[in-house]
Amino acid sequence: MQPDGVAIRNGAHVFSLRVYYEDTDSGGVVYYANYLRYAERARTEMLRAVGFDHGGLSAQYGILFAVRRCEADFRRPARLDDALQVRTCNLEFSGAGLWADQTILRGDDVLVGLRVQLACIGQDGRPARLPGALRAALAPLAAPPAH
């Protein structure tokens, strides 16, 4: 079951949130690092939406995810009480991880664009194969094939 504010539609996972006072600086603008927190929450809820969670992945498959690379394009600020959405899509799979495009929006306005590379690692910290069941569950969010 998906929590309130979470949906998968049109090849994207959509996570809704609101900007709280604790997320902002003294001017009421979201502190830049909090966008990374929003993106992390969205990826966690994306896993839940397809039937997985971090604890289960660790217990059943012995894997964890670590951010290997993140590129962020900050375009416009979010402010106190804004309703935001984080869209996650265009997943690209490798043997031991994946890439994801994440966009943080306020309505139709793009605030931040993120390109995140996640490494799948074993509990020993070494690269591990992405489980086939997880790859299959995330397939509806995969990048369209190149022409």
Task: List active site positions.
Answer: 25
What residues contact 34, with CB distance under 8 A and at least 6 apart? Answer: 23
What residues contact 60, with CB distance under 8 A and at least 6 apart? Answer: none
Instruction: Please give the structure tokens belonging to residue 119.
Output: 């490494």
Q: How far apart are CA 35 and CA 113, in angstroms?
A: 10
Concatenated DSSP letters for 28-68?
SBBPTHHHHHHHHHHHHHHHHHTT--HHHIIIII-EEEEEE
Q: What one-letter code names the amino acid at 64?
A: L
